[in-house]
A and B are shown apart, each in its own frame.
Chain A
């Protein structure tokens, strides 16, 4: 904002894509024009500030609130009444839904040399996991989204549960979101199953079919006699949900299950928490009591709870050898966070660029995280109570993990920030609409471009040069406050003061390292090919590290 002060002239060039503001610096200190490149999709709110009688510099103009932690304020000249036109045009294109206009993704004619829509194919992904097997089957019962309109067409369910069983279970789960498989452990065959809350209600209703169904899930794994249920909510919230017909699995009804609450708060708490983060970082960074103000936003505490929950899920499956059922209220916010993070900890495949795309596509997009409602794409109702930064919180958790395991992820920070930027931009169809059935009705895959097309056609930009591929390593991040930090490069990236006063050479060096790494691996493969003729056993593979030096206690 401070950059914009003192500018005399402004020319607004609008396209339906982006807001290009071309400032002609007339104060003579700078020769180059400042170009601000803001996708219109990122705009949350546009307000006029000042009136015809306003006096004083910069008191008259437009104030634009963005979804990506910044506000833009444009000071305009009062004469000529150009503001109203500008306001109208901006409003029209930033909020197309209110004006019966298409979202920009449907107009975008960008071409890429790879098609991101082909990245995720559920059958292939389940096959990678070794499914179907003799305990789990793939069902097309939801082909026309009749069983559950917010679930994907293709589901994995216990072999022993019939389609009729599934229909009966659906009546007892909020919005028919029945327990279905998200992930299966390749060795011990324990599973992560996701669903919504049971419709217990005040009277404590029971449903024999649901109880039997959970027992069938438990029996697919014979190593442990109990099924573990993680209810993501705080205990009191789960109880309170009974008043509106929801609830949780009681001990009496589900003898063979153990239930734990994970104390993660709801979308409204998260929204308010992020709002507080914005208050302390924009437009001015809180100076005097930075750490205590950061603490009072509780943002990192929420991150900690989400990570802790996911660690418990992952640990139960991996070390506890118990199958796990995860739900919250509707099973599309906290549940998606927990299953996807646990899968990221357990399955190294999801830590590659394509694997991560598949994870997002599967656990978030296909399973009906309500992106349209949570983000408000093209919608002018900025105060909508349905908006919440749940997906951002998930990406933040991923970033925290990538900080703690710098070699475990194929992607870099830019990859995560790019995903977040296009979460709002409406340039791609990837995050549009609330569920698969709606996307199918709108023919999103035919009519829009996928974000993964952009990323996969230029993968090098998003690669972590230190990535070392490891199979079957479970990552347990440290979810203590001491080891979590605010993602400064994302939340405070608009503030020039936190930048070092030198162009960052890190990325350049990373690119060099990447190039060299590829070269090395290629050479090694050639050598191995040449050597394998002579040697029965090839030497160590390029990626595997040599055994660590034993830890030195002290020095002589």
Chain B
């Protein structure tokens, strides 16, 4: 297919309005297969303005006698307005943007054409998270092994090729356990907590069904998890559904682990919102934030009505529960909901941030996102197809990953020194998850990424972000390694609306950005003096 088929008008004269703070831009508007460009006249001093079409969430057009206005609402929650000369031209451009921004095909998407200067294809794709992470686990315990039972993605299409499993369970048993779990997602290691010797394991729901089926290999697998920790260890199964929902799932073939079949394991239910209700909460919140006309005295009530902060609270407290089970109770934790690709990952990744100081470093956090979200099979393409502005009927969209980023932001706010990265990285991940020139968040699973040859034909977001020039935007200038677990307060009084994201394009960008720039200045100045005076640094964590 040629993009040119979809482009009805290539150029037009236009004026771009970018919100109340930024001055309007005038120039020639051009449309390409992947971008909308605005080139200011030769005499203008401002640079070329560019928008990735993929980041357009919804388009609204209005025409007057000899011009048209297009309102573009972007996936990163920006709202842009284009005033275009000529009614025909504006309608053509609107239709073209509409068609080009909703192309489904992965291999014609922009990451397959993006060839930035200074980056080499294949760089930073060397992350092989399960293998890399296994090296660390192997140093800490001998109870686990790396299995390649999923080498060809036949056992579980949404798992990576290699997974970490109890040493005493062979590949045959894994394959049979996989047949007993939805989507083949049998229990695999998510995190080994070395100080307590316990583990965090994740899976999907067991397919017990109405007949309460059992699976000997699955039971053996979970028995081996406990035995690997220490003889007589206990375990908790954190089910992210209510007990009623879990019971109901039996009617459609799913279910929960029967108590009798899994001795030593105790089930806890912590219902987390997911799917469409979560998407609706996101949409309502963005709507409330953008509604500047509303009478001011009802803002808090409206914020409460969106329930977003309540979801943040639930996610964080479930993660705390899992982390506490390991650190304080010395128990192993298995987390699953139904598919095990959404709220399950939310809980396991947050629990690691709370417990594991390495995951709070720049590199460690990127590895965590890669391992616990991308490789673990969170269906980014489905979940992030649309953001909060889309008029299309939601199908599989859900802001689970955004909820994760918000929880991380809350952690960073409560522990301003303990995360090596700052708000900038979280904002970048949000943007790139929804629309990106990089290939990292493409597709729904490792299997799909292999089919599309994402690794060899696109650039990795991590290599883009880890360029030196990006560092100041992404790092936390106050970072000081903290070897302890960080237990957040999850009371609503301790949580805040993430203004940097939800009010990013509404508030004047000044004070806080300028302020952070100054903080950077002070801190880097300090480091210079530090370097000039050799002192023994005792702050390196001993891990």
Contact = CB atoms under 8 A, between A and B. Distances in A.
A466 B518 contact: yes
12 contacts: A304-B296, A406-B515, A406-B519, A482-B497, A482-B503, A482-B507, A498-B489, A506-B416, A506-B417, A520-B529, A546-B521, A556-B50
A516 interface: yes
A497 B303 contact: no
Interface in A192-219: none
B309 to A, nearest CB: 8
B297 A301 contact: yes
4 closest Cβ contacts across the A-B interface? A501-B487, A291-B304, A295-B300, A481-B299
Nearest to A515: B526
A292 interface: yes
A542 interface: yes
Contacts of A486: 493
Contact of A551 (B298, B492, B509): B509
B493 A482 contact: no
Contact of B482 (A485, A505, A519): A505
Given A294-B300, A500-B488, A483 B493 contact: no
A500 B486 contact: yes
Interface in B505-543: 506-509, 511-515, 517-519, 521-523, 525-526, 528-530, 532
Contact of A407 (B508, B509, B518, B532): B518
Contact of A292 (B301, B437, B522, B529): B301
A318 interface: no
A516 B484 contact: no
B114 interface: yes
Given A285-B491, A500-B488, A509-B417, A407 B519 contact: yes
Interface string A276-312: 0000010001010111101100101100100000000
A300 B301 CA distance: 13
Contacts of B503: 482-483
DSSP majority for the A interface? Answer: loop
B289 interface: yes
A291 B303 contact: yes
Contacts of B114: 556
Contacts of B298: 295
Given A466-B518, A509-B417, A291 B50 contact: no
Nearest to A280: B493
Interface string B293-325: 000111111011000010000000000000000
Contacts of B303: 291
A295 B301 contact: yes
B494 interface: yes
B42 interface: no
B417 A292 contact: no
A405 interface: yes
A523 to B, nearest CB: 6
A482 B417 contact: no
A300 B482 CA distance: 35
Given A291-B300, A407-B519, A478-B508, A502 B486 contact: yes
Contacts, number: 140
Given A292-B304, A500-B489, A466 B415 contact: no
A548 B473 CA distance: 12
B124 interface: no
A34 interface: no
Given A304-B296, A500-B415, A545 B512 contact: no
Contact of A556 (B437, B484, B518, B526): B437
B168 interface: no
A488 B494 contact: yes
Contacts of B309: 291
Interface magnitude class on chain B:
35 or more
Interface of B is mostly: helix
B233 interface: no
B291 to A, nearest CB: 11
A480 interface: yes
A513 interface: yes
A466 to B, nearest CB: 5
Contacts of B484: 502
Interface string B43-61: 0000001111001000000
A468 B518 contact: yes
A295 B289 contact: no
A480 B116 CA distance: 41
A482 B482 contact: no
Nearest to A504: B415
Nearest to B52: A554
Interface in B54-104: 55
Contacts of B299: 295, 481-482
Contacts of B499: 482-483
B444 interface: no
B400 to A, nearest CB: 23
A268 interface: no
Contacts of A516: 526, 529-530
A466 B49 CA distance: 34
A555 B50 CA distance: 8
A397 to B, nearest CB: 16
Contacts of A498: 489, 491, 493-494
A246 B494 CA distance: 45
A500 B487 contact: yes
Given A482-B499, A505-B482, A520-B525, A466 B301 contact: no
A501 B116 CA distance: 45
A513 B521 CA distance: 12
B109 to A, nearest CB: 14
B529 A519 contact: yes
Contacts of B488: 500
A506 B22 CA distance: 35
A499 interface: yes
Nearest to B469: A549
B478 interface: yes
B135 interface: no
Given A407-B514, A478-B508, A482-B503, 19 more contacts: A281-B493, A285-B493, A291-B300, A295-B299, A295-B301, A304-B296, A404-B512, A466-B522, A478-B507, A481-B300, A483-B507, A500-B414, A500-B486, A500-B489, A506-B416, A506-B417, A542-B525, A545-B521, A554-B55
Contact of A545 (B506, B508, B514): B514
A255 B49 CA distance: 52
A492 interface: yes
B439 to A, nearest CB: 14
B480 interface: yes
* Most-contacted residue by chain A among B55, B116, B303 (CB, 10 A): B303
B526 A482 contact: no
B286 to A, nearest CB: 13
Given A294-B300, A505-B480, A405 B515 contact: yes
A158 interface: no
B120 interface: no
A368 interface: no
A111 interface: no
A553 interface: yes
Given A295-B297, A481-B296, A501-B487, A466 B304 contact: no
Contacts of B480: 505, 509
Given A545-B517, A545-B518, A553-B50, A485 B496 contact: yes
B517 A548 contact: yes
B116 A556 contact: yes
A544 to B, nearest CB: 9
Contacts of A520: 525-526, 528-529
Interface string A502-528: 100110010001001101100100000
A517 B526 contact: yes
Contacts of A289: 304
Contacts of B507: 478, 482-483
A498 B497 CA distance: 16
A272 B300 CA distance: 20
A465 interface: yes
Contacts of B478: 509
